[in-house]
Amino acid sequence: MRTVQVELGERSYPIYIDSGLLGQAGTYLEQHGLTKKSPLLIVTDDHVAPHYLGKLEAQLQDHGYTTVSAIVKSGEASKSLSVFEDVMTVAIKGGLDRSSAVLALGGGVVGDLAGFVAASYMRGIKFVQIPTTILAHDSSVGGKVAINHPLAKNMIGAFHQPEFVLYDLETLQSLPPRDVSAGLSEMIKHGLIQDADFAKWCKEHAQQLLALDAETLGYGLERGCSIKAHVVSQDEREGGLRAILNLGHTIGHAIEAVAGYGEFLHGEAISVGMAGSALLAVKMGRDASVYEETMALLQAFHLPTTLPAYLNVDEIMAAMMHDKKFKEGFMVFIIPDAIGAVSIVSDIPEQDVRDVLEQLRDGGEAIV
Ligand SMILES: NC(=O)c1ccc[n+]([C@@H]2O[C@H](COP(=O)([O-])OP(=O)(O)OC[C@H]3O[C@@H](n4cnc5c(N)ncnc54)[C@H](O)[C@@H]3O)[C@@H](O)[C@H]2O)c1
Ligand SMILES: O=C(O)C(=O)C[C@@H](O)[C@H](O)[C@H](O)COP(=O)(O)O
Ligand SMILES: [Zn+2]
């Protein structure tokens, strides 16, 4: 068993990572003091449910818990106000009360949606993350929960920390290859922002990670979660430092919104965004070797690093103005200083950003 602790004072919680944890969910809920007197709401999606929902429901019922389940359509489009309302309806009809908890069984979409339901239902009830994607080593940790607005990602949300995170490595075996690569994009990000050795380790273990080798994956997820937990514990509500977790997201979130939610997977859009940040760094006069290493790392995981021609640069620029980090007339970018170190930069001229978006179409050859 690997355990990572998220240190947040009275809101601290553990992330349990191991094979077979889904079959012990009832014991973990008991250990964390979740009551059996009030119903639990399981939120999941229609790709995850056929694999794991029955097992979780049976396990919890064996332990004396009552459950109701909300199964949403798989994909980013479910992080919407209308699906949020549908899940709320299941919660109300299911008789959830203030002692109830919401369990998120799925990837980041389910985690963000279910977490926002938990943050809002009766002004806030308990919440447990049961992640089933690689990407969710990022989304299940740190308490950012949200749904999207058609104009911008994660615009409607809250900070709401889970009681604990139960990460069953066995569930990752059924992930489609595209979601494996996309999930590893955020693992690479954790290396790029704070840990050059981990970034190197990711590249050296690309084949084992892509092949879902349990031991390699276990270490990668533990290290990724630890880096994220350490940042979050210093700046829970993104007063400053936490923004580094947004490497690649200024461009990435804009791509997701402009392309239409679900066209790009989140990890894919962030990969293009990380290539863009590395290009911006070169434009700012920093060492081109960081750009080259970033590209080699992303490409080792078969991740996209270019903008498709159908995406309009003006629309991406406009979407970036809606980013939560856009303040007082400035777009904020997380820019690599070296592999494993980044800066938060807010004075990049608009024309430089436009140039980089154009260069991303060509694969970035123009400036290195
Ligand atoms: N809150 C945060 O801090 C944070 C951090 C990173 C990303 N996010 C959000 O996370 C979302 C992306 O998460 P994601 O990539 O996990 O997407 P996702 O939840 O859509 O899951 C990816 C796909 O895999 C399927 N799936 C999930 N688990 C499976 C399994 N074990 N077997 C087979 N199929 C499975 C899903 O149905 C979906 O089709 C985005 O909305 C992003 O904004 C949030
Ligand atoms: O937890 C964070 O902080 C992050 O930035 C992690 C990101 O990977 C994640 O996509 C997050 O949801 C983005 O946050 P947002 O505030 O830009 O919506
Ligand atoms: Zn992200």
Condensed to tens digits (0 to 9), the pLDDT of residues 178-210 reads: 999 999 999 999 999 999 999 999 999 999 999
Spatial neighbors of 352 by CB under 8 A, at least 6 apart, are 280, 283, 284
249 marked as binding residue:
yes
Q: Which one of the listed residues 57, 238, 268, 293 is annotated catalytic?
A: 238
User: Is any atom of ligand 1 closer than 6 Å to the C-beta of 75?
Assistant: yes
Residue nearest to atom 5 of ligand 1 (CA): 139
User: Is any atom of ligand 1 closer than 6 Å to the C-beta of 253?
Assistant: no
Instruction: Return the axis-axis angle of helices 177-194 and 288-300, rounded to nearest 10°.
Output: 150
Phi/psi for 340 (5° steps) reads: 95, 5
Active site residue 242: yes
What distance in angstroms lies between residue 212's CA and the mean position of ligand 3's atoms?
21
pLDDT tens across the length of the chain (368 residues): 999 999 999 999 999 999 999 999 999 999 999 999 999 999 999 999 999 999 999 999 999 999 999 999 999 999 999 999 999 999 999 999 999 999 999 999 999 999 999 999 999 999 999 999 999 999 999 999 999 998 889 999 999 999 999 999 999 999 999 999 999 999 999 999 999 999 999 999 999 999 999 999 999 999 999 999 999 999 999 999 999 999 999 999 999 999 999 999 999 999 999 999 999 999 999 989 999 999 999 999 999 999 999 999 999 999 998 888 888 888 899 999 999 999 999 989 999 999 999 999 876 655 55
Residue nearest to atom 13 of ligand 2 (CA): 246
89 marked as binding residue:
no
Q: What letter represents residue 169's amino acid?
A: L
What distance in angstroms lies between residue 27's CA and the mean position of ligand 2's atoms?
31
Residue nearest to atom 34 of ligand 1 (CA): 175
User: Is any atom of ligand 1 closer than 6 Å to the C-beta of 76?
Assistant: yes
Only one residue has tokens 């106000």, namely: 81
What tokens were used for 78? 């479910």
Condensed to tens digits (0 to 9), the pLDDT of residues 307-356 reads: 999 999 999 999 998 888 888 888 899 999 999 999 999 989 999 999 99
153 marked as binding residue:
yes
Rounded Cα gap, residues 235 and 231, in angstroms? 7
Q: How many beta carbons lie within 10 A of that of residue 61, not counting itself? A: 12
Instruction: Give the start-to-end residue ranges of the domains of the chain.
Output: 2-173, 177-367
What tokens were used for 115? 């977490």
The CATH fold of domain 2-173: Rossmann fold (3.40.50)
E strand segments, the chain: 2-6, 13-18, 40-45, 67-72, 101-106, 126-131, 144-149, 152-159, 165-168, 333-338, 341-345
Rounded Cα gap, residues 192 and 223, in angstroms? 13
Longest alpha-carbon distance in the chain: 63
What distance in angstroms lies between residue 270's CA and the mean position of ligand 1's atoms?
13
289-to-37, 82, 193, 282, 294 alpha-carbon distances in Å: 59, 46, 16, 9, 8
Residue nearest to atom 16 of ligand 2 (CA): 324
Rounded Cα gap, residues 358 and 255, in angstroms? 13
Q: Which of 6, 137, 140, 144 to mutate to test the pocket of ligand 2 (most atoms within 8 A of CB)?
A: 144
**What does DSSP say about strands 67-72 and 40-45: parallel, antiparallel, or unpaired?**
parallel
What distance in angstroms lies between residue 355's CA and the mean position of ligand 1's atoms?
31
Q: Is the separation of the CB atoms in 271 and 248 below 8 Å? A: yes
CATH homologous superfamily of domain 177-367? Answer: Dehydroquinate synthase-like - alpha domain (1.20.1090.10)
Domains 2-173 and 177-367 share a fold: no
| 233-269 b/e (C-beta count within 10 Å ≥ 16 → b) | beebebeeebbbbbbbbbbbbbbbbbbebbebbbbbb
Q: Which one of the listed residues 253, 256, 324, 325 is annotated catalytic?
A: 253
What distance in angstroms lies between residue 54's CA and the mean position of ligand 3's atoms?
29
Only one residue has tokens 């990837």, namely: 107
Name beta bridge partners: 118: none
Q: What letter represents residue 334's amino acid?
A: I
Q: Which one of the listed residues 266, 268, 324, 325 is annotated catalytic?
A: 266
Q: Which of 169, 179, 212 to mutate to test the pocket of ligand 1 (most atoms within 8 A of CB)?
A: 179
Q: Is the separation of the CB atoms in 254 and 320 below 8 Å? A: yes
Residues, the chain = 368
Active site residue 246: yes
Rounded Cα gap, residues 100 and 118, in angstroms? 9
How buried is residue 275: exposed, middle or buried, by Cβ count under 10 Å (0-12/13-18/19+)? Answer: buried
